[in-house]
Amino acid sequence: MKVLAYSCRPDEKDFFNQFAQKHGIEITLSEQDPEPETVELARGFDCISIITTAIDARLLQQFYQAGVRFISTRTAGYDHIDIKAAHKLGFKVSHVQYSASSVADYAIMLMLMLTRKIKTIFEQTNIQDYSLDALRGRELPHMTVGVAGTGKIGHTVIRHLSGFGCRLLAYDLYENEETKKYAPYVPLETLLAESDVLTLHMPSTAKNSHFINKDTIAAMKNGALLVNTARGSLVHTGDLIEAIRQKKLGGAALDVLEREEGIFYNDLTGQVVDVPELALLQSFPNVIVTPHIAFYTDQAVADMVEGSIMSCATFMQGKEIPWLVAPSN
């Protein structure tokens, strides 16, 4: 049983070799991304493992012609794959689940960094300015945190935040009984109006694209803070920038962005990055931008690699595939 792993990072190699042996897989590792120029690498492989490279209908057709029938993305989200086109061609597609604490704890860290104005503190101390002007922060126990999306990660955020003593509000189309032990579910209008901090933990779908936009921002509490460790498409970047400029929002911490493809995960030192919105966001003292790294812990990377290997192995064995993406998605 053979699998080709595209976009393999150095830190993944030992995990790939370890779990390939564990699950009886012959693994071939490639640092190259799955692109039209690299499709031929997949010839002779039924399964490929990918990360976040966009896989559109045209590229899917090329992989199908090369003999690939199964695509496993080593990510929880799969909006970078044209799922409809994949199922139409006859592909099966899977994603993975990984340590929820990785993203949940990172989101909480970003909340603390925003409320304590850590970006400005770092910038001032780096130039030996140790004054206290404009550095007074806020305390979470005296704030309301709204969590939009209560799947594994959102639920973990709420459970971990329960120890901080803050008021918690939950919002989701599908309520989680375990989450109700820590936070009440409220309508979206209440979540927006009463949250001092709003953190996003929803998957990216066509229906929730630009979930945060000028209208939802207008409904938010004046001075509220926004945290996004989910997907960049959930936030209309232009509307967010305007809200920061107008001081409608008190700040934002963004681990994901629209148009992040080709930027995050690359060393672009000395190059022109043609995303003006990114430069604007980074210029604001109350905005923190990190490179889609919330997931990046030793446990999460191990989970992602093993999950991808397991999905490929079960596909080739004709067994039920874990974390299969249903055609309806």
Q: What angle is formed at CA 232 by the lines to CA 279 and CA 289, rounded to 5 degrees?
A: 40
Q: Is position 320 annotated as part of the catalytic site?
A: no
Q: How far apart are CA 47 and CA 70, in angstroms?
A: 5
For 84, other C-beta atoms within 10 Å of its C-beta total 12
Token pair of 94 as six digits: 């899977």
Candidates 23, 155, 201, 292; catalytic one: 292
CB 70 within 8 Å of CB 86: no
Q: Is position 37 annotated as part of the catalytic site?
A: no
What are the angstrom distances between the C-alpha of 277 and each of 81, 209, 218, 227, 242?
A: 25, 18, 20, 17, 11
Q: How far apart are CA 217 and CA 249, in angstroms?
A: 8
What are the angstrom distances between the C-alpha of 156 and each of 38, 44, 104, 105, 160?
A: 38, 41, 6, 8, 6
Q: How far apart are CA 204 and CA 233, in angstroms?
A: 7
Q: Is position 231 annotated as part of the catalytic site?
A: yes
Q: How far apart are CA 28 and CA 258, in angstroms?
A: 32
Candidates 23, 95, 201, 260; catalytic one: 260
CB 295 within 8 Å of CB 98: yes
CB 295 within 8 Å of CB 105: no
Q: What is the DSSP string of 200-269?
A: E-----STTTTSBSHHHHHTSPTTEEEEE-S-GGGB-HHHHHHHHHTTSEEEEEES--TT-TTTTTS--T
Candidates 231, 236, 258, 306; catalytic one: 231
Which residues lie below 8 Å from residue 24, measured CB to CB, with a gap of 6+? 1, 313
Q: How far apart are CA 219 and CA 304, in angstroms?
A: 37
What positions carry a catalytic annotation? 231, 260, 292
